Amino acid sequence: MNESLIPQNLQFVKQEIQTLATQEGLTPESVRLIAVSKNQPIESIQIAWEAGQTLFGENKVQELLTKIPLLPQAEWHLIGHLQTNKVKSIVGQVALIHSVDSERLLLEIEKQARLKGIVQPILLQLFISGEETKSGLSPEEALSLLEASNQFPHVQIKGLMGVAALTEDREIIRAQFQTLSDCFQSWKNNRPNFTELSMGMSSDFPEAIQYGSTLVRIGTAIFGSRNYA
Ligand SMILES: *Cc1c(COP(=O)(O)O)cnc(C)c1O
């Protein structure tokens, strides 16, 4: 894509988010935009930064660790699957890990955060898509981790994340966001730090905002299609 389109794409996406949030009776600040910069060169990320974007998401640990030092002032999130053996290198480097999808992974984050003397904010990823290629916890598993959270003092569970199915069927997408939203709404009672619901990508962020998303993860609509060559 022509990099010069990035500022106007960003502006358009932000406007959309603002309109949708207002329609839901929310303040524009209650839905934050994560610019998903995976597979994008640092030049494109710089352009987005200069256009006012401060929050970026990446789905691979190695790529993230390469990019953070090039733009350390940005707020970086890990949104993709995290392998246990990479936890050590990422803990303490990112503002939020969205993709905690097993107890084993949570335990490893706890261990590495304890060794570094920090508290790592995370989200629990729920499996909502019904697609075998996607990962995530069942609602029962997620709730039991949340209820055991005092056993993980170096991890702060800030909320939930999910990825809807890749389908044109809006009803399926809505039903999946509804499931995630229902869990979020019922579990956030009496949990003052449980405030984030990460759902919605380029193709489905309008629905996600209607179902209460607080963090939308948008790549293609900002940067254009990714070049996997
Ligand atoms: C790539 C990715 C996104 C962004 O997808 P787009 O369709 O490009 O907006 C969002 N969330 C996750 C977990 C991703 O891996």
For residue 207, the Cα-to-chain-centroid distance in whole angstroms is 16
Q: How far is the CA of 219 from the centre of ligand 1 (A)?
A: 6
Query: How far are the Cα atoms of 83, 104, 105, 156, 194 from residue 113, in angstroms, in the given order?
Result: 16, 14, 12, 11, 19
Q: Is the CB of 98 under 6 A from ligand 1?
A: no
The domain segmentation of the chain, as residue ranges, is 3-223
Q: Is the CB of 60 under 6 A from ligand 1?
A: no
> Which ligand 1 atom is nearest residue 99's CA?
13
203: tokens are: 């193709």
Q: How far is the CA of 203 from the centre of ligand 1 (A)?
A: 9
Q: Is the CB of 219 under 6 A from ligand 1?
A: yes
Which fold does the domain 3-223 belong to in CATH? TIM Barrel (3.20.20)
* pLDDT, one tens digit for every residue, the chain (229 residues): 688 899 999 999 999 999 999 999 999 899 999 999 999 999 999 999 999 999 999 999 999 999 999 999 999 999 999 999 999 999 999 999 999 999 999 999 999 999 999 999 999 999 999 888 788 999 999 999 999 999 999 999 999 999 999 999 999 999 999 999 999 999 999 999 999 999 999 999 999 999 999 999 999 999 998 765 4
Residue appearing with tokens 């009776």: 25
| pTM check: above 0.95 | yes
